[in-house]
Amino acid sequence: MTSKPASNSVKNRGSWKQNPDAVKADILRVARAEFADHGLSGARIQEIAEKTKTSKRMIFYYFKDKENLYREVLEQAYREVRQGEKALALDSLDPVEALTQLVAFTFTHHRANEDFIRLVMIENIHRGVHLSASETIRAGNSPAVEQLSAILERGTAQKLFKPDIAAQQLHWKISALCFFNVSNEPTFSRVFGNDLMTEAGQAALRQDVVDTIVGSVLA
Amino acid sequence: MTSKPASNSVKNRGSWKQNPDAVKADILRVARAEFADHGLSGARIQEIAEKTKTSKRMIFYYFKDKENLYREVLEQAYREVRQGEKALALDSLDPVEALTQLVAFTFTHHRANEDFIRLVMIENIHRGVHLSASETIRAGNSPAVEQLSAILERGTAQKLFKPDIAAQQLHWKISALCFFNVSNEPTFSRVFGNDLMTEAGQAALRQDVVDTIVGSVLA
DNA sequence: CACACAATGAACCGCATGGTTCATTGCGAC
DNA sequence: GTCGCAATGAACCATGCGGTTCATTGTGTG
């Protein structure tokens, strides 16, 4: 026997370090972009793996299967967006100004988080079944609605706002306008021209959305 | 030789009648439902074929490939919806009432055409590339915007409306509210409860949307 | 009828894709 | 050190899926 390894038929298997959390986070990061880009059935595990520092093997090791990976991506995205909404401090402003800020922020925030918007679009295409399967995503922990409620309460107390404005319904209207702006940009601009999607158009739109929403609650 | 056919190795190939237009229409009908249900990559040609009176073979014969079939489905859907919008007769109404009717109609119309909404969502997921490839879908032939323009002109002339309301931008707001109502129902109702999706909730929402839009243009 | 061409049926094909197997390596506990 | 389990790599697999081939049948035209 020589001092060399007995067998040279053993293929070279590179060495590696263990860092499960980083690997999982890396996979989630890449998967999120891919799912947002191509949808659940359109995304390719292969493609996700290649953009990762790890392998296809590990995706299934940590996330079981494609649907589960998608669900975890969705959950993470919801959590992050909620986190972002919490950052707003509106308590010190008078109700009208607070509402103005909230709407303007939502408009800008949605624009800046296109991936999240697209994930929500995709989930709606799937009729929300993966959201249902998720334990962590539930009502009540939506900072946006809570802040809105607080503003409405103060505004109504000061008789600046109409009485009996429903926070949930108002939130729905704000969401609709801000969400649609991002979600339907491609088809809308192709059918009607992209005037509203230029920088100037978006500024005008944001102002219009703010005015429309604020106008709808003023006494 | 007997009087029977010389060869019984020839497999039985059932007889058939020719009716290309009906076959094409049948394929489009089924394909539309399937694409609306599962998206472009999610839909299965196989599945479409099985729900058709014809075969997979004929789908490729008439429509070349999956993407082209999808594009034709999209075009047909746009044409039909525009046709539906034309039916509205608002010229005889005073501007405020005409706008009210237009918004209420749009709200109801979108609700009633979920397949179309879903196709548009899907096309937005694909960033509108198939709409771009389509010759037949272009701005200008949108009856909804033309009607809206006419109403605005009359309303402004009578000094009922603010001056300088942009028809396109107003149409955008109406679309946003009515589209979102259908498109985001699954995720919205799962996160915030489905109060707004009940019959009563939808009635309240429709009224709210009408009031919000009309309120935003009144002088 | 004969011919040309459109319409159709049945079987087939290549390959991309989600998922698995099996053996190997890292590393903390004792 | 060594034992045990978590983490990993490489190759593999079954099959679903978009698309095609080839031969056959319908039908209008002369």
Q: The domain spanning residue A166 has which CATH number?
A: 1.10.357.10
**Which alpha helices (DSSP H) does chain B contain, by range?**
20-38, 45-50, 56-63, 66-86, 95-112, 114-125, 129-132, 143-157, 167-183, 185-192, 199-217
Number of domains within chain A: 1
CA-closest candidate to residue B102, choices B17, B210, B203, B186: B210
At B73, phi and psi to the nearest 5?
Answer: -60, -45
In a domain, A188, yes or no: yes
- In the block, tokens 């409405």 appear at A152
Task: Say whether pLDDT at A14 is over 80.
Answer: no
Alpha-carbon distance of B35 to B31, in angstroms, equals 6
- In the block, tokens 């000061």 appear at A158
In a domain, B50, yes or no: no
- Measured between its terminal Cα atoms, the distance across chain B in Å is 95
Which pLDDT score, from 0 to 100, does residue A8 have? 32
- Residue pLDDT, tens place only, A193-218: 999 999 999 999 999 999 999 999 99
Q: Distance (Å) from CA A16 to C1' D6?
A: 13
Question: Which chain C positions have some atom within 7 A of a protein CB?
Answer: 6-11, 16-21, 24-27
Q: Distance (Å) from CA A28 to C1' D5?
A: 25
Alpha-carbon distance of B200 to B197, in angstroms, equals 8
Q: How far is CA A54 from CA A68, A69, A126, in A?
A: 18, 15, 29
Residue A140 pLDDT level (bands cut at 50, 70, 90): low
Task: Say whether pLDDT at A48 is over 80.
Answer: yes
Q: Which residues, numbered 112 to 171 in chain A, qualify as contacts with chain B under a Cβ-Cβ cut-off of 8 Å?
A: 118, 120-128, 131-132, 137-139, 142, 145, 168-169, 171
Alpha-carbon distance of A187 to B137, in angstroms, equals 10
Structural domain containing residue B198:
90-217
Instruction: Answer for the pair A151, A95: CB distance below 8 angstroms, yes or no.
Output: yes
In a domain, B51, yes or no: no
Alpha-carbon distance of A163 to A147, in angstroms, equals 17
Amino acid at A10: V
Task: Say whether pLDDT at A94 is over 80.
Answer: yes
In a domain, A56, yes or no: no
In a domain, B27, yes or no: no
Which pLDDT score, from 0 to 100, does residue B144 have? 85
Q: Which two tokens stand for residue A111?
A: 């624009």
Could B139 and A185 be called an inter-chain contact, meaning their C-beta atoms sit closer than 8 Å?
no
Residues 39-68 of B, Cβ under 7 A from nucleic strand D: 43-46, 56-57, 60, 65-67
Could A192 and B209 be called an inter-chain contact, meaning their C-beta atoms sit closer than 8 Å?
no
Could B175 and A180 be called an inter-chain contact, meaning their C-beta atoms sit closer than 8 Å?
yes
- Nearest CA of chain B to the CA of A128: how many Å? 5
Q: Which residues, numbered 11 to 70 in chain A, qualify as contacts with chain B under a Cβ-Cβ cut-off of 8 Å?
A: 38-42
Which pLDDT score, from 0 to 100, does residue A142 have? 81
At B86, phi and psi to the nearest 5?
Answer: -65, -25
B41 three-state secondary structure: coil
In a domain, B34, yes or no: no
Alpha-carbon distance of B216 to B219, in angstroms, equals 9
In a domain, A75, yes or no: no
Alpha-carbon distance of B117 to B182, in angstroms, equals 7
At A92, phi and psi to the nearest 5?
Answer: -80, -10
Q: Distance (Å) from CA A15 to C1' D2?
A: 21
Q: Which two tokens stand for residue A69?
A: 């990976």
A161 three-state secondary structure: strand
Q: Locate the chain A residue with the closest alpha carbon to B42.
A: A41
In a domain, A6, yes or no: no
Could A131 and B209 be called an inter-chain contact, meaning their C-beta atoms sit closer than 8 Å?
no
Q: Any chain B CB within 8 A of the CB of A208?
A: yes
What does the mean pLDDT of chain A come to?
Answer: 91
Which pLDDT score, from 0 to 100, does residue A6 have? 32
Report the percentage of chain A scoring pLDDT > 70.
91
Which pLDDT score, from 0 to 100, does residue B139 have? 61
At A152, phi and psi to the nearest 5?
Answer: -60, -40
Q: In what helix (H) or strand (E) does residue A26 lie, and over which residues does it extend?
A: helix A20-42
Check if residue A86 sits with its Cβ under 7 angstroms from strand C: no
Going residue by residue through chain B, which has 219 residues, state the pLDDT in tens, using 9 for 90 and above: 333 333 332 333 455 678 889 999 999 999 999 999 999 999 999 999 999 999 999 999 999 999 999 999 999 999 999 988 888 889 899 999 999 999 999 999 999 999 999 999 999 999 999 998 887 777 656 888 999 999 999 999 999 999 999 999 999 999 999 999 999 999 999 999 999 999 999 999 999 999 999 999 998
Given A124, A168, A181, which is nearest B187 (Cβ)?
A: A124
**Mean pLDDT in residue range A65-70:** 98
- Buried b / exposed e over A103-115, threshold 16 CB at 10 Å, is bbbbbebbeebeb
- Nearest CA of chain A to the CA of B3: how many Å? 56
Instruction: Answer for the pair A124, B176: CB distance below 8 angstroms, yes or no.
Output: no
Beta bridge partners of A161: A218
Instruction: Answer for the pair A63, A69: CB distance below 8 angstroms, yes or no.
Output: yes
Q: Any chain A CB within 8 A of the CB of B191?
A: yes
* Residue closest to sugar C1' of C10 by CA: B13
